[in-house]
Each structure stands twice: as C-alpha cells, then as structure tokens.
C-alpha cells in the first residue's frame, strides 16, 4: 500500500512540486502513457548550486584556497598563473573574473602527488570543520533539504540518481553518500590524470597535476554517455554549465523532465544568476521555457533551504 505522506515536505505546493509528483507517479504507473521502464529511470543532478551552496565560491575552491599555499612553496613557478596568484593573495575579485576552468585548475592541483585515499582523508579533515564565510555554517551543512527529499523520492520510485558535476569527482565522492545517499560510483565529475604505482603496500593510484576532464557544459553530456551509457530522463541544474545536460535529457524519446534552480532568495541563501561569472545563468534563464526546462524558485518553491546542524547528514 502506497504511503499518503508528502514525499516533498520542503517544497511549497505549486506548479513545480505538482509537476514533479505527477511525472514520477506517471513514470511508475505500468501501462500508462508516462510509464518509464525501471532500467531507464536515470536522474542526473549537478552539485554546486544545485544540491549545495556554491556562492560566493564553490566549496572546492574554498578548499583550494586553504591548500594552495603549500603548493606554491613546493613550486613557486605556479605563481606565474593568474589563478594561483589570486588564490595565494586571497583575491576573490580576480578569481571571479577568470574563466571557471582556470579557477578550478588550482583546486585540482592541490591533490597532485597524493594517492586517492590520501586525498579523501585530507579533504574530509577540512570538510568536517571548515565553515562558510558568510553563512556561518559548516560547508557540509549547506546542502539543500528540498533536493535531498527529491533524491530520496526518486530513489523510492525506482530511479537511479547520479551527480554530474564540474567539481572534482574525488572531492564530491567524499561527501556524496553522507549528504545525498549517492554512492561514489554514481558521481561523475572533473578529474585529474592518475598513474598506477606498485609499492610496499601494493598498488595505489597517485594523482597527477594534470587535468583529465573538465566536466562542464558539453563535456557533461560526453561523460554521461561514457560512464552511464544511457540518456537520463530527469535532470536538474542551476547554470549555463548544465544547459547541455538538461537539453540532452529532454532530447530523447518518451517522458522526460528537466529543471533549473533559480537562486533568488537573498534572505535565506543568496540571490544571483547572470552576474556570477564562475557559474553564470544567462542562456538558460533566457530560454528555459523555449527549451522545455522548468524553473524552480528557491524563494517561492521551497519552504526551507538548509537543515539544522547535526541532522545526521552534516
């Protein structure tokens, strides 16, 4: 017997919530026009700005700010690169003026030379205590409750949920299970190259200071095809970096749904879109309706944003 409890209590009643509930209900109604076979129930979510707070800088960029001084001491030539120089100076204004790929380069380089396990431990040491400079909350407490509800609801309805992020894949894997219930093998993200080494303790993967894949814009679609082998039927993003993924999702046959989260809540989080260079929202904002992408207002569609600290997922 199906529960009558509201699966999305953090969402206000309205068009967005109703559309999501209707889509999922139809997807699991065998024989109905909106039915989606279980194997095809693939949902993909961006992370930064979609599942947790990304403003004024993405979480991994803050992590890199804390780590980049160590790198510069090891290799002073890095300071010739604008992003590294800005990181060391704490020059947020310059960082926000640079292309996202340039800004993330130091973030990826901070774990060069580490094994995957060493990086995970280093990232978790920082994440479990570092605080957002404006919200006064630990970064891991800044995931969005309504999105966690949506992820849970999709999974209870037979969907397989993936994160497809421009952030570093290993960084996001550190917290994806705890915050979102998503296992590491269902996280796709930007990556550095690695090499396999054999030592006294056996084989280990060591990270190199070389970008492998920057998982943004069209590359998100390429990596979805490479790692999933299926076109998603449900997608959620928040910026132009996600537009290709959302349109790719909608471009297949059968029932499909894609959403943008609009950050328009200056009181509970932040209000930004076009002006945020690191994750700008221009084309998607202008053409969402034309492309068939729904728009979720953080201010109007959510009755809460963050959970209280210590709720078990932070």
Contact at 8 Å (CB) between 248 and 224? yes
Specify the pLDDT at position 314.
67
Element (H, E) at 297: strand 294-297
Specify the pLDDT at position 100.
78
Write the pLDDT tens digit of every residue in 117-163. 999 999 999 999 999 999 999 999 999 999 999 999 999 999 999 99
Distance from C-alpha of 118 to C-alpha of 114, rounded to nearest angstrom? 6
DSSP track, 198-240: EETTEEEEEEEEEEEE--STHHHHHHHHHHT-S--SEEEE-SG
More confident of the two residues 298 and 92: 298
Write the pLDDT tens digit of every residue in 33-67. 999 999 999 999 999 999 999 999 999 989 988 88
* Residue in this structure with the two tokens 């993909």, named with its chain if needed: 44
Name the pLDDT band for 1 (thresholds 50, 70, 90): very low
Percent of the chain with pLDDT over 70: 98
Q: What would you measure as the largest C-alpha separation in the chain, in angstroms?
A: 64
More confident of the two residues 209 and 115: 115
3-class SS of residue 272? coil
Percent of the chain with pLDDT over 90: 76
Specify the pLDDT at position 310.
65
Specify the pLDDT at position 12.
98
Sheet holding 234-237, edge to edge: 202-213, 187-199, 160-168, 42-45, 234-237, 257-262, 294-297
Specify the pLDDT at position 3.
56
Name the pLDDT band for 103 (thresholds 50, 70, 90): confident
Specify the pLDDT at position 231.
98
> Angle at CA 161, nearest 5°, toward 103 and 234?
90
Name the pLDDT band for 188 (thresholds 50, 70, 90): very high
- Most confident residue range from 78-82, 167-171, 234-238: 234-238
Nearest CA-CA partner of 39 in 313, 194, 171, 230: 230
Write the pLDDT tens digit of every residue in 23-36. 999 999 999 999 99
* Prediction pTM value: 0.92
Show Cβ contacts of residue 250 under 8 Å, excluding neighbours closer than 6 positions.
235, 256, 257, 258, 291, 292, 293
pLDDT at 22 over 80: yes
Could you tell me the domains of the chain?
A: 15-56+142-191+213-301 (3.40.50.1000)
More confident of the two residues 219 and 98: 219
Question: pLDDT averaged over the chain?
Answer: 93
């Amino acid at each position: 017997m199906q529960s009558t409890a509201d699966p999305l209590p953090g969402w206000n009643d309205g068009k967005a919530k109703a559309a999501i509930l209707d889509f999922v209900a139809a997807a699991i109604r065998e024989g109905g026009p909106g039915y989606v076979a279980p194997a095809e129930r693939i949902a993909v979510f961006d992370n930064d700005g979609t599942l947790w707070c990304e403003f004024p800088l993405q979480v991994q960029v803050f992590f890199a700010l804390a780590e980049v001084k160590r790198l510069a001491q090891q290799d002073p030539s890095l300071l010739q690169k604008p992003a590294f120089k800005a990181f060391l100076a704490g020059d947020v204004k310059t960082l926000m003026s640079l292309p996202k790929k340039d800004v993330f380069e130091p973030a990826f380089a901070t774990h060069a030379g580490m094994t995957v396990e060493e990086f995970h431990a280093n990232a978790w040491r920082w994440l479990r205590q570092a605080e957002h400079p404006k919200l006064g909350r630990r970064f891991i407490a800044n995931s969005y409750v309504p999105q966690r509800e949506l992820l849970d609801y999709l999974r209870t309805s037979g969907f397989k949920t993936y994160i497809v992020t421009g952030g570093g894949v290993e960084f996001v894997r550190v917290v994806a299970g705890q915050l979102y219930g998503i296992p590491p093998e269902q996280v796709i993200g930007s990556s550095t190259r690695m090499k396999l080494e054999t030592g006294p303790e056996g084989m280990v993967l060591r990270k190199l200071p070389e970008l492998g894949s920057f998982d943004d814009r069209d590359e998100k679609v390429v990596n979805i095809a490479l790692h999933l082998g299926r076109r998603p039927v449900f997608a959620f993003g928040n910026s132009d970096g996600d537009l290709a993924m959302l349109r790719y999702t909608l471009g297949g046959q059968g029932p499909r749904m894609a959403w943008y989260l609009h950050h328009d809540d200056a009181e509970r989080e932040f209000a930004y879109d076009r002006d945020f260079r690191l994750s700008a929202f221009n084309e998607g904002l202008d053409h969402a309706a034309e492309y068939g992408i729904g728009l979720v207002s953080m201010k109007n569609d959510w009755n809460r944003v963050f959970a209280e600290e210590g709720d078990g997922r932070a």
